[in-house]
Structure 1
Amino acid sequence: MDGRRLPLVSLTRRILSLAVPAFAALIAQPLMTLADTWIVGRLGTIPLAGLGIGAVVLTTMVGIMIFLAYGSTATVSRQVGAGNQRRALELGTQAMWLALALGLALVVLTVLGASWIAGALGADDGVHAQAVEYLRWAVPGMPGMLVMLAATGTFRGLSDARTPLVLLVGAASLNFALNLFFVYVVGMGIGGAGLGTAVAETTMGAAAAFLVARQGRRLGARLRPVPVDMWLNLRVGLPLMLRTLALRIAILLTTYVAAAQGAAALAAHHVVMQVWNFLANALDAIAIAGQTIIGTALGASRRDEARESTRLMTRWSIGVGAVLGLVVFVVRGPLAGFFASDLEVRDHAAWLFVVVAVALPLAGYVFLLDGVLIGAGDGPYLARAGVVALLIYVPLAIAVLWLPRGQLGLVGLWLAFAFGYMGARALTLWWRARTEDWMVEGA
């Protein structure tokens, strides 16, 4: 250790300067899906259940590719901490080229396999048709979304949390306006919600690429595709991809078991899962600040700062989770009614929100330590921990299939997810964070 310590006031100010705009940016993206949920929810239970299938597929794709943001945050912040800003922008640019290639591949695979994917997740009859329509209209926006992820990681690595905020808020606003237009004015139904999202994501990705390229040109960075650097980004991100893949498999399994509870239960599950994702992104704001702070501190060989920052941010994240949980518990009834018009769906959702409210402090702890280890570049451990947590959760989720269908099964599923799966993640992350094995110094 170098013995240097960042004053508490300065550390607090820096966390806030990164976390506050990151909070707004993180909730802007889920707002796109929440807007779809609110708009499509006015069309009825079957379209809303179809959106539950289609949205979880797209969210899974983005989730698996989140390494584009997390990996570039870690690599860029370490280069910045070591004083190599030009190299930092070069690596960020190559992450965007990699994102574009991966996004185009996902478009082709999803358009060709949309029907099979929806069926594999338990959709049938009318729900299947709605899910396929949404997927085929929405997935062309995937390249823009992934480019934005890579650009976001670059901006965060440069300690610029404002630019992603402006881009994401603009995209969320455009998405809402376009969805209303295509769904109700043009009369496209659920397909209009997908098209509006695709246009908004493409616009956002193009704007992000332009802004990163402008900074790169100013510093003389290489902007053309460089296969070696693209491979470097992919190699750094592969463990994070495995970690996220385990997470997304857990969420897909949860959706599959929810679908077995009936259309009303699936619709309620979708509503609650979107609110959970929204709140998770809100909690993740401190973790995102942690990625930048930890990466920069270790890049500059300041271990004391990394450890002190981790302690402070952990307390904050648990506290924010507790406050959010209290709010969810108090407004659970009106919140369920806001997203669903069907009384059965509302009743299911209100009970699930009780589970969510109690679990949010634990979620805050998990998300914070996850962000700290990502910022430290500890991807291989996170990948192993993710697989362990998934293996613990799978039998718990499958056991729910033996419970009575409907509300009891749905509540049992969310108990297994919120405390079985998230509890396993908390234990594996605590086990690592208590050591100093993750504190690797240098660029």
Structure 2
Amino acid sequence: MPALAAPALVVLAAEPLYLLVDTAVVGNLGTTALGGLAVGGGLLAYVAALLNFLAYGTTARAARRTGAGDRPGAVAEGVQATWLAVGLGTVLAALFQLLAGPLTRVMAGGPGPVAEAAEQWLRVASPGLPLLLVALAGNGWLRGVQELRRPMVFVLAGSLVSLVLCPLLVHTAGLGLVGSAVANVAGQSVSAALFVRTLARELAGSDVPWRPHPPALRAQLVLGRDLLLRAAVLQVAFAVAAAVVARSSTAQLGAHQVALQLWLFLALVLDAYAIAAQTLVGTALGARRPDEARHTAVRVVRWGLGTGVVVAVALLALRPVLPGVFTDDPAVLAQAGVVWWFLALMQPLAGVVFALDGVLMGAGDVAYLRTVTLGAALLGFLPLSLLSGWLDWGLPGVWTGLTLFIVLRLVAVGQRVRGSAWLGESVSP
């Protein structure tokens, strides 16, 4: 498990780690720039998360084909996922260019300096969407064939370019917030080029064609449909939470941006075990070995829980110093201190939830995950976020909703994996 999880951890952590550095660099420009990054970057992140079926759905399908001894079929899944990434990314990038102003004004709570900064960032960064989605598709099929080291190298290469360029463009070159967006696109270009080159080399030694195959695209979209709806519910919930916080105060929005980026970063760190489980469960069920799949589920829960506890302890120990890395604004730091307890104490629960999500995704049990996510958002996260806006509860109310969201999912996915229905969902590729 750790042998597969370690490269996955690097891949998952690279992008949010860059975003954390980006947040720290932009935070030194002032509260308005930090708020603009929170709104503009949040919108782009919502779309990327919405389309993460290009990675997760492709991993599950490719892993089951690998388990059945059909590597060319697994590679073909990568080809079709890449075509989907290019098409969807191009359409969405064009929509962001058309709607950047209205979207950022809605998210920022109306016209103003934060909305203007967010629109400027989004217009420069959104052309990188096709590149970002191509990298998701590449990660998906390579994970499915248990090739996790090459994605690690490719993602690190792109992130390194972004990490170097971000402070140079923002501060040294004097581009300000625009420099952050340019650095983002530059890094995505490097990663996407490496993934496409690898796919081309794989196809050169096989009979798998490059061209789009409509039946295969439809099959991927069917699996992606439930993952897409699940991701959509998640992103709507996070968008509502961000909008509520934005209407409270700029300081609360800045603190929410810092805490949320840390939460997303840590979620992906914990998700490394889920990626390993997804690959191993999909391969086991493709080879018709359900006992092996169940054993993997037990192991991944133990690793997720243990890592979540370690992360929680580390966050509490670093509470006096870590928020100051991202901003020196006293008002933002005060709000960050409030939300820090929520961020830390939910980590053990999140570690188990994300691990079990990976198990069920590997089994193709995405319809159940969709229903669970929808229910947890509608019963927990969204109601408390909206109440926080109406009753002026601010950040504590929003983050209580996020904690309840995790607890409800934990109960539901835990009960599912204890049963046997998930083992029969995707035994064949």
TM-score normalized by the length of structure 2: 0.97
Instruction: State the partner residue of 1:78.
Output: 64
Indicate which of 401, 420, 431 corresponds to 2:415: 431
Partner Cα distance (1:119, 1:434) in 2: 46
Instruction: State the partner residue of 2:388.
Output: 400
What's the secondary structure of 2:423's corresponding residue?
Answer: coil
Partner Cα distance (2:308, 2:391) in 1: 30
Instruction: State the partner residue of 1:6.
Output: none
**Is the Cα–Cα contact under 8 Å of residues 384 and 400 in structure 2 kept in the other structure?**
no
**Is the Cα–Cα contact under 8 Å of residues 46 and 126 in structure 1 kept in the other structure?**
yes
Letter of the 1:309 counterpart: T
Shift of 1:177: 1.5
User: What is the identity percentage for the equivalent residue pairs of Structure 1 and Structure 2?
Assistant: 37
Partner Cα distance (1:112, 1:267) in 2: 27
Instruction: State the partner residue of 2:252.
Output: 265
Indicate which of 11, 17, 35 corresponds to 2:3: 17
Partner Cα distance (2:383, 2:201) in 1: 50
Instruction: State the partner residue of 1:313.
Output: 300
Indicate which of 299, 302, 309 corresponds to 1:322: 309
Shift of 1:278: 0.7
**Is the Cα–Cα contact under 8 Å of residues 280 and 293 in structure 2 kept in the other structure?**
yes
Partner Cα distance (2:203, 2:278) in 1: 22
Indicate which of 350, 361, 368 corresponds to 1:363: 350
TM-score normalized by the length of structure 1: 0.94
Runs of 4+, deviation exceeding 4 Å: none
Partner Cα distance (1:152, 1:284) in 2: 14
Partner Cα distance (1:54, 1:32) in 2: 16
Partner Cα distance (1:403, 1:330) in 2: 32
Please show how residues 165-244 of structure 1 align to structure 2 within 5 Å. 165-244=152-231
**2:238 is the counterpart of 1:251:** yes
Letter of the 1:424 counterpart: L
**2:397 is the counterpart of 1:409:** no
Partner Cα distance (1:358, 1:383) in 2: 25
Letter of the 1:130 counterpart: A
**Is the Cα–Cα contact under 8 Å of residues 227 and 370 in structure 2 kept in the other structure?**
yes
Shift of 1:285: 0.3
Letter of the 1:111 counterpart: Q
Partner Cα distance (2:210, 2:2) in 1: 32
- Where does the alignment leave 5 or more consecutive residues of structure 1 unmatched? 1-14
Instruction: State the partner residue of 1:134.
Output: 121
Partner Cα distance (1:113, 1:333) in 2: 40
**Is the Cα–Cα contact under 8 Å of residues 137 and 192 in structure 1 kept in the other structure?**
no
Instruction: State the partner residue of 2:140.
Output: 153
**Is the Cα–Cα contact under 8 Å of residues 158 and 186 in structure 2 kept in the other structure?**
no
What's the secondary structure of 1:377's corresponding residue?
Answer: coil
Partner Cα distance (1:351, 1:397) in 2: 16
Letter of the 2:389 counterpart: L
**Is the Cα–Cα contact under 8 Å of residues 93 and 213 in structure 1 kept in the other structure?**
no
**Is the Cα–Cα contact under 8 Å of residues 135 and 191 in structure 2 kept in the other structure?**
yes
Deviations along 1:404-432, one digit per CA (max 9) or x if unpaired, are 4xxx52122212212x1111221221232
Shift of 1:334: 0.8
Indicate which of 353, 356, 359 corresponds to 2:340: 353
Letter of the 1:412 counterpart: G
Shift of 1:30: 0.7
What's the secondary structure of 1:301's corresponding residue?
Answer: coil
Indicate which of 116, 120, 130 corresponds to 1:143: 130
Deviations along 1:75-117, one digit per CA (max 9) or x if unpaired, are 0000000011111101111110111100001100011101111
What's the secondary structure of 2:115's corresponding residue?
Answer: helix
Partner Cα distance (1:116, 1:37) in 2: 23
Task: Tell me whether 386-395 or 220-229 shows the greater mean CA deviation.
Answer: 220-229
Instruction: State the partner residue of 1:422.
Output: 406
Deviations along 1:310-354, one digit per CA (max 9) or x if unpaired, are 011101101100110010011012111000110111121122111
Partner Cα distance (1:276, 1:169) in 2: 20
Letter of the 1:269 counterpart: H
Partner Cα distance (2:419, 2:42) in 1: 35
Partner Cα distance (1:436, 1:45) in 2: 51
Root-mean-square deviation (CA, aligned residues, Å) is: 1.2
Deviations along 1:251-305, one digit per CA (max 9) or x if unpaired, are 1111111112200000000000001111111000000001000000000010100
Letter of the 2:241 counterpart: T
**Is the Cα–Cα contact under 8 Å of residues 157 and 190 in structure 2 kept in the other structure?**
no
Partner Cα distance (2:323, 2:27) in 1: 12
Letter of the 2:99 counterpart: G
Letter of the 2:417 counterpart: A
Letter of the 1:55 counterpart: G
Count of residues paired in the alignment: 425
Instruction: State the partner residue of 2:12.
Output: 26
- Where does the alignment leave 5 or more consecutive residues of structure 2 unmatched? none
**2:151 is the counterpart of 1:164:** yes
Shift of 1:35: 2.0
Partner Cα distance (2:222, 2:186) in 1: 31
